[in-house]
Amino acid sequence: MPKFVYEESRRKQDAFVAGFVAGLLSIVGTYWLDVKKVQRQVQGKQFRLFKGMGPAMGAQAFRTGITYCGFDTLGGQFRVWGFVGVLWDFVAAATGAVVGECIATPMDVWKNSAIQRQDIPTGRVPRWIWT
């Protein structure tokens, strides 16, 4: 039976693609629920399903991108410094998540206030997002 060889470069490429797909699916599958929840909390009435989705999805994608970038950068630096193992992977992931949340929180505040006022700036977003 031949031994299966999984090259490191191929593993990294597959991990990147899998992470990208997982992040995209989680954003598309769950974030619209948050938009609807905020609309219901602050206004108590229903709106079109995709109204306000562009900026909201953009805020979530921004947070996810910052988190993954922070994890990848810090994790790589830990390996260069010789810090390897599950604990250091956790520290890199947690730090990336904290930095992502800190950077993206102002966008979330803007999103929630825009949902409350229903004055999301449609002039800066393609029209197909709103219809």
User: pLDDT tens string for the chain (131 positions)?
Assistant: 778 787 888 888 887 788 778 777 777 777 767 666 666 666 655 555 555 556 656 666 777 777 777 777 888 888 888 888 888 888 888 888 888 778 777 767 776 676 666 655 545 555 544 44
Say how far apart CA 95 and CA 77 lie, in whole Å. Answer: 13
Helices 53-81, 86-117: crossing angle, 10 deg rounding: 160
pLDDT of 11 reads: 81
- Which one-letter amino acid corresponds to residue 35? V
Say how far apart CA 99 and CA 110 lie, in whole Å. Answer: 18
Q: Which two tokens stand for residue 115?
A: 């949902």
pLDDT of 91 reads: 86
Neighbours of 52 (CB within 10 A): 24
Quick check: 105 and 34 in contact, CB under 8 A? no
